[in-house]
Amino acid sequence: MKESVNIENDLEHADKKTVIVIGGGLGGLVSGALLAKEGYKVTVLEKNAIIGGGLQCFKRKGVSFPTGMHVFGGFGEGGQLRKIFSYLGIMDRLSIRAMDEDGYDVVTVLEDGSTYRIPKGMEQYISFLSELFPAEKDGIKAYFDKIYSLTEEENLFYLREQPSQLFMSFSEDAVAPFDELMDRYISDPKLKGLLSYLNPLFGGVAGTTPAFMGALLNILHIGGTYQFVGGSQQMADLLKEVIEEAGGKVISGEEVVKIEVVDHEVQEVVTKKGNIYRADGYISDVHPDVLLRLVDEKAFPVSFTKRLRMVSETYSSFKVYVKFKEKAFPYSNHISYCMERYDAKYDTKALKEEEWPARLMYYTPVVEGQGEYAETMVIIGEMDYEWVKPWEDTRTGRRGASYEQWKQKMTEKVLDFMERLYPGFRDNIDFVMASSPLTIRDYYGNKEGSNYGFQKDSRDIMLSQLFVFTKVKKLYLTGQNVNIHGLCGVSLTAIQTAEAFVGQNVIVRKINNF
């Protein structure tokens, strides 16, 4: 029997406007927390047993591993995230650790065996690069001046009041492919490769990804990066507290299977368990492809649904999770990146299996009371979804022997790569696990297991641009597909979503005046 959960009629909160959030990832939780602080009664419905989306952590043999959010900027003094989470009242309860200032990122290029420690701060980074590439000194300065100016075009990135949520304008340089913009200022191929080491963190594809995406991520990281101590699940749990302390609910294991739309207006949502939820407003924090499957085909204009189905996805990744033997491998207070060669323009989709992995990112998650030695390591390599298509109709734990054999082969290739960096690496391992693009697809609901949702395309920048407003009344969007991905980008978009309810710039002003 279906249970009607009409939260509009909850007498205890009869004076509050109500909001249903579909999806308990970062975007849904921050949007919900901001609205809870504005006096709304918020109910978050999450399909998985654990809330948080990319904030989720999982345990194997009593050991915790992070699934998504591994490194982030914006928590320094005056940083965007520090301001947002201070306003929400959880900043002083978050346990985070700053990466080394003299090398928050360490980049190794196997082509010539060089290792580069990336220093915190714009001036320090420019000076560091200029000493390595003196002939490029003027170009380096001009390049960083340019990418900084591109971030200035995004008011929300600096928590400035915005003139409009409905119209987005980009300069010609902002939408130029990031690699082509770099080519204007930098000529040395080694320097280009080094400057492009962060490409995997914004889904960078040469000739396609717009420069403003790379600019935002680079400027965010140059200000210093951080890790969660003990895992990122803590942020999801604290955001849940904000919502529930205001009288709302965050319900896990409650998958929405239907959004009932009548005359282009949401009437209710129905869950897999048969429960019905009604509210004054609804927020979707699921991938747009999932959203389209939840509504009747006539809910949105045909042009809108056709456009969404035309947008390409960013590439996915293969992850290897390592548990070390006790006191076997040193902890590193930085994120490591290793590339076979300086050529950063190689196409992930064109990479052959015998060439994979061509570059990896790896790090040792920090734990409470972190000492000299690492407990675990997470190793990430970009991977195209096409590689797992033979098993795309399967689900976790039921993919068959051929998939398990393939996954083991890919895991061994990653470990072979690590052996080149650390001879005897395998001898330090207690146990190892791996996840593929299918794992990401099934747990996060991302189409094709994409790391960052929709691929922004310089050739048609408006194709993949979504607004928080939709053509369906009472329905709003949030999450990484709407604006910018990542911990910072998704949190900033959540402000836009919440302000769709309370008024433009209302929350931005409160955050800045807090």
How does pLDDT run across 34-49, given as a tens digit for each residue?
Answer: 999 999 999 999 999 9
**Range name among 52-66, 163-177, 272-286, 472-486 with the lowest pLDDT average:** 163-177
Give the integer Cα–Cα distance in Å for 267 and 213: 36
- Report the Cα 398 to chain-centroid distance in Å: 27
Task: Provide, rounded to the nearest whole percent, the portion of the chain with pLDDT above 90.
Answer: 76
Q: Are 313 and 450 in contact (CB under 8 A)?
A: yes
Name the more confident of 508 and 459.
508
Tens digit of each residue's pLDDT (9 = 90 or more) over 378-423: 999 999 999 999 999 998 889 999 999 999 999 999 999 999 999 9
pLDDT at 168: 61
Tens digit of each residue's pLDDT (9 = 90 or more) over 293-327: 999 989 999 988 888 888 888 999 999 999 999 99
Find the length of the chain. Answer: 514
pLDDT at 15: 54
Structure tokens at 7: 């939260």
Q: Taking Cα atoms as reference points, which of 186, 190, 194 lies closest to residue 137? A: 186
Give the integer Cα–Cα distance in Å for 266 and 161: 30
Q: Taking Cα atoms as reference points, which of 350, 229, 279, 285 lies closest to residue 47? A: 285
Query: 178-185 and 137-151 are packed helices; what angle lies between their axes, rounded to 10 degrees?
Result: 140
pLDDT at 12: 40
Q: Which SS3 state, helix, strand or coil, does residue 136 take?
A: helix
Residue 127 has pLDDT above 80, yes or no: yes
Q: Give ∠ CA 162-166-167 in degrees, rounded to 5.
A: 80
Topology at the third CATH level for domain 4-53+72-95+229-311+461-513:
FAD/NAD(P)-binding domain (3.50.50)
Between the CA of residue 285 and those of 24, 30, 34, 214, 249, what are the distances in Å? 7, 10, 15, 24, 16
Burial of 64 (0-12, 13-18, 19+ CB in 10 A): middle
Phi, psi (deg, nearest 5) at residue 501: -90, -40
Give the integer Cα–Cα distance in Å for 169 and 149: 15
Peptide bond into 163 cis (omega under 30): no
Residue 7 has pLDDT above 80, yes or no: no
List, as one string, the DSSP characters of 142-185. Answer: HHHHHHHHHHTT-GGGGT---S-SS-----HHHHSBHHHHHHHH
**Which residues touch 164 (CB under 8 Å, ≥6 apart)?**
504
pLDDT at 221: 94
Structure tokens at 273: 């368990």
Q: Which SS3 state, helix, strand or coil, does residue 22 take?
A: strand
Which amino acid appears at position 266 of this protein? V
Give the integer Cα–Cα distance in Å for 115 and 106: 7
Give the integer Cα–Cα distance in Å for 389 and 308: 21
pLDDT at 228: 95
Residue 5 has pLDDT above 70, yes or no: no
pLDDT at 346: 61
Q: What is the reported pTM?
A: 0.93
pLDDT at 177: 93
Question: Which secondary-structure segment (H or E) carries 338?
Answer: strand 335-339
Confidence of residue 344 (pLDDT cuts 50, 70, 90): low
pLDDT at 382: 93
Residue 428 has pLDDT above 80, yes or no: yes
pLDDT at 3: 46
pLDDT at 453: 85
β-bridge partners, 277: 5, 269
Residue 263 has pLDDT above 80, yes or no: yes
pLDDT at 6: 46
All structural domains of the chain with their residue ranges = 4-53+72-95+229-311+461-513, 122-224, 315-451
Report the phi/psi class of residue 150: left, alpha or beta, with left for phi > 0 and alpha for psi in -120 to 50.
Answer: alpha
Give the integer Cα–Cα distance in Å for 19 and 41: 6
Give the integer Cα–Cα distance in Å for 447 and 454: 9
Name the more confident of 225 and 352.
225
CA within 13 Å, CB half, 370: 21
Give the integer Cα–Cα distance in Å for 52 and 59: 15
**Which residues touch 19 (CB under 8 Å, ≥6 apart)?**
32, 35, 40, 41, 42, 43, 279, 280, 281, 282, 283, 501
Between the CA of residue 391 and those of 230, 341, 400, 433, 492, what are the distances in Å? 33, 31, 8, 19, 36
Residue 203 has pLDDT above 90, yes or no: no
Burial of 446 (0-12, 13-18, 19+ CB in 10 A): buried
Tens digit of each residue's pLDDT (9 = 90 or more) over 222-257: 999 999 999 999 999 999 999 999 999 999 999 999
Query: Average model confidence (pLDDT) for the chain?
Result: 92
**Which residues touch 444 (CB under 8 Å, ≥6 apart)?**
25, 53, 54, 68, 287
pLDDT at 58: 87
